[in-house]
Amino acid sequence: MYSETKIAIPIFQSKKEDILRIANDCIIKGADILELRIDGMENPNPKLVKEIIEEINFPTIATNRTSKEGGSFKGSDEDRVAILRECVDVADFIDIELQTERSLIESITETGAKTIISYHNFNLTPDLDFLIDIVNQEKELGDIAKIAVMPNSLEDTLTVLALLSHFDDTVAISMGELGSYTRVIASKFNAPFTFAVANDSTAPGQIDIDTMKVLLNSDLINTDEFENTE
């Protein structure tokens, strides 16, 4: 049985020609959706970003990550969101951080664009109640909730799986090597996306696309073996 969780591949390049080249490579390798990391581009402007997404001509998430959450965009929040707003007609999803000023988030959501409302913590994994509150806030604003947090113990990774068991239409990732398995197990909770890499690594613990495809479409536990031992 094939997983319904789509594999998203981030593209984090500075120049248009490199973005288009890697996008084509990702499509050939079997990506389901591409994440254009606008914050990785050199002097991005709305017209250029829209042009790139149109030329890629493949399901795309437009992301312009703030430096406060591990991104590289150096302008104001107003400029950052203005670029995203220009993408609403060409991108399949717009990713915007929950910590963004509410009026700026609403300037995206009121267009009718499909949105991913995201939260990142590169230092730790907050407790489950805190994360449930975060996801509830994200769902009030957008279509898909996303959290990515850093584990300091195996128990932290289980907190992320517990979160997935509470919600539909939620992407929850435990980062780093310790949490890398959650990127695969998320499919068992019908997460809409999981993130893998082709060339660019944009977060610790990411798995390459070839490995991810095999893992998502394999039964990690063969229940027939247990039934036949009786």
- Annotated catalytic sites, by residue? 120, 146
End-to-end CA distance of the chain: 25
Residue appearing with tokens 């239409």: 169
CB 34 within 8 A of CB 59: yes
Alpha helix ranges (H) inside 44-112: 46-56, 77-86, 102-109
The two three-digit tokens of residue 155, written as one number: 């128990």
**Helix 77-86, helix 46-56: angle, nearest 10:** 40
Distance CA 190, CA 127 (A): 22
Dist CA 92 CA 78 (whole Å): 21
- Rounded to whole angstroms, how far apart are CA atoms 184 and 181? 5
At 150, phi and psi to the nearest 5? -100, 125
